[in-house]
Amino acid sequence: MSIETPLPVGDFIDRLTILDIKSERVDDPVKLRNIEHERAALRQIWSDSAYSGASIEGEQRELKLVNAELWEVEDRIRIKERRGEFDREFIALARSVYRLNDRRARVKRAINLKLGSDLIEEKSYHGQGASP
């Protein structure tokens, strides 16, 4: 069973790129089976959608790069946290997460605008001026 819900097109593509990364990096066969099942289901939904012919390869590639970088940063943060190493590198890594997420939000927004998504995610943070 699953829940079907409307979401911004950029978020859908974001999820697909995350599943692509997981399929490349996860070794556990049970987890990999679940990842591949979800990935196949979402790819089918995309193929059946009005957006399937859209030219967003560049944006999709950028999202995958950002998400892969986030994966690496989060792994490094967890290692340092496990070791109790809350040094300058830890702080720099932690700060890079929000910068990467801002970049990710910009790419998702670009996809939403390019494809005329009915739904568009909005981000707002204290002290932030214009949209990401």
In tens, the pLDDT along 96-124 reads 999 999 999 999 999 999 999 999 999 88
pLDDT tens digits, one per residue of 51-82: 999 999 999 999 999 999 999 999 999 999 99
Enter the tokens of residue 8: 């911004």
Q: Would the pLDDT of 132 be above 60?
A: no
Q: Cβ atoms within 10 A of the Cβ of 95, count?
A: 11
HSE-CB at 33 with a 13 A cutoff on CA atoms is 2
Measured at the CA of 72, the angle between CA 104 and CA 32, to 5 degrees, comes to: 95
- The whole-angstrom separation of Cα 109 and Cα 4 is 21
Note the pLDDT of residue 123: 84
**What residue segments make up the domains of the chain, in order of their start?**
9-115
Q: Higher confidence at residue 125 or residue 87?
A: 87
Q: Would the pLDDT of 43 be above 70?
A: yes
